[in-house]
Amino acid sequence: MIKIKRTNKASFLEYEEEHYKTLLSDLERIPDFFKYVQLINELAYREGFTFYTGNYYRSIKIDPIPRILKKEEFWKISEGLKSRAEAINKFLYSYYHGDKVVVPEDLIETSPYFRPEMMGFDPPKGIYVYIFGEDLVKVKGIPYILEDNVRIPSGMSYAIKAHELTERVLGDKFSVKGNEGDGLEKLKKTLTFASDTRDPVIAILTDGTLNSAYFEHKFYSDKLDLLLVEPSDINIREGEVTVSTLEGEVHVDVIYRRIEDLDFLTPGLMNAYLRGWVNIVNAPGTGIADDKITFCFMPQIMEELGIKEGVKQPFSFPIGTTREDIEEKIKNMVVKKREGYGGSGTFVLHDMSEEEKKKVLNEVRKSPEEFMAQELLDFDTVISAIGDSFYQAYADLRFFVFVNESSTSILSRVAPVGSRVTNNSSGGLVKPLWIV
């Protein structure tokens, strides 16, 4: 039996469930397992599997012990996320068409992602969000949704690459086989669907090699034959948008945007979108549904729309709307900045030193309207291969939903030992995930 360094004996260890027995038996029979772990990560780095941190390219570490989702579990979660995706698009349509919504208007209009130009605009096909990244954890097997990523959801390529490298090096060592995942197929299908042209020209808009997720931009471009373009490559002509390539200017039908500020980086693109000259995926202004403050209202939004909440979320509230003793109320909660992403602006107060807590609480006191608080969940842990040992570690799931269907390419991120924050920028690892 493999020896696991337990970090929290009270936490539920998912790998003790029945459907992991065969996998754990396989692990016991692999000699020098950690040499394979090292090889997988060396290959990943050589193949450019990196994350830009602001100073250098850091390798994205792969933990090649697969995580398993049972098929029935996958379909149940997928149905819940399909309903949530429908609710998010309906919420965006309602607000941008002047209808009254559950979220107070002043909270939406102070969101850094609110785009007043979108008011009254009908997006192509009535769709604002084509691609969703939904972050979940499980608590004793029950899924809870922690965040909606609908501006620029990332990470599906990491799931695909982790699966590919694990299969390449360890495929013949496991008696259980996981599926390859349909993420690339669904992404291409969705981007094609975003245009009314039979064979649309699709470009992926990046701000270049210093973007933290540039690996993913290049990966999609190579795998799906998308034009990889930077803002300086885009030209706005009367009635169309073109991109400059080595072969000359090319008309483009769909832009899959992976940058934040369209106006500053690409003058005229927003206007071209509003005139119907090009479609942008995801649409500008979708960030009001990505805002952590809006997340607090999602159960009420779904109830108002008559849509069943298939996957529950933990209790969450906007700190700026309460007059209670905030510090006492949030001391054992997770505090998040409303526009935070990639782990930045997420503070697990329970796990912080007194000095660190004091710093965060001072920031909250100064601008309470910029923060929300979320119930702290003791979510399920996994077995993680780190260095030359097996550790117990917290792990999450990111499902990718394409308009109204979930992909079987699912990202599972593992937090560094002793932490609950799984993001790559915080040192999280990536696991392959099997649906069996």
Q: In terms of domains, do 174 and 267 share one?
A: yes
User: Does residue 118 sit within a domain?
Assistant: yes
Counting every residue written for the chain, the total comes to 436
pLDDT at position 255, please? 98
Last residue of a domain, one of 375, 390, 416: 375
What was the pLDDT predicted at 323?
Answer: 66
What are the tens digits of pLDDT across the range 167-207? 999 999 999 888 889 999 999 999 999 999 999 999 999 99
Cβ-based neighbours of 244, under 8 Å, separated by 6 or more: 233, 234, 235
Q: What is the largest CA-CA distance in the chain?
A: 68
Domain boundary among 330, 345, 375: 375
Task: Read off the pLDDT of residues 141-175 as tens digits, 9 standing for 90 and up.
Answer: 999 999 999 999 999 999 999 999 999 999 999 99
What is the pLDDT, as a whole number, of residue 57? 86
pLDDT number for residue 136? 98
pLDDT for position 250: 97
Q: Do 424 and 341 belong to one domain? A: no
In a domain, 404, yes or no: yes
Instruction: Print the SS3 string covering 238-254.
Output: CCEEEEEECCEEEECCE
Regarding whether 234 and 132 lie in a shared domain, the answer is: yes
Cβ(156)–Cβ(406) under 8 Å? no
Rounded Cα distance between 251 and 213, Å, is: 26
pLDDT at 261: 74
Q: Quick one: 140 and 282 in the same domain?
A: yes
Is 129 found in the same domain as 154? yes
**What percent of the residues of the chain are helix, what percent strand, and what percent coil, each to the nearest 5?**
40, 25, 40
Q: What tokens were used for 315?
A: 């209790």
Residues paired with 138 in a beta bridge: 143
Question: End of a domain among 375, 393, 426?
Answer: 375
Residues 58, 176 share a domain? yes
Preceding peptide of 149 cis, ω within 30°: no
| pLDDT in the model for residue 342 | 64
Residues of the chain below pLDDT 50: none
Burial group, residue 170, by CB count within 10 angstroms (0-12, 13-18, 19+)? buried
For residue 416, being part of any structural domain is answered with yes
Determine, yes or no, domain membership for 410. Answer: yes
Q: First vs last Cα of the chain: how many Å apart?
A: 23
Q: Are residues 89 and 103 in the same domain?
A: yes
pLDDT at 429: 96
pTM: 0.96
Query: 227 is written with which tokens?
Result: 């034009």
- Is 383 a domain residue? yes
- Which residue range is the domain that position 350 belongs to? 315-375
Domain assignment present for residue 305? The answer is no
Would 307 be classed as within a structural domain?
A: no
Which pLDDT does position 157 carry in this prediction?
98
SS3 237: strand
Residue 302 identity (one-letter amino acid) = M
Q: Are residues 143 and 164 in the same domain?
A: yes
Residue 328's pLDDT is 80
Provide the domain count of the chain: 2
Q: How far apart (Å, rounded) are the C-alpha atoms in residues 401 and 111?
A: 24
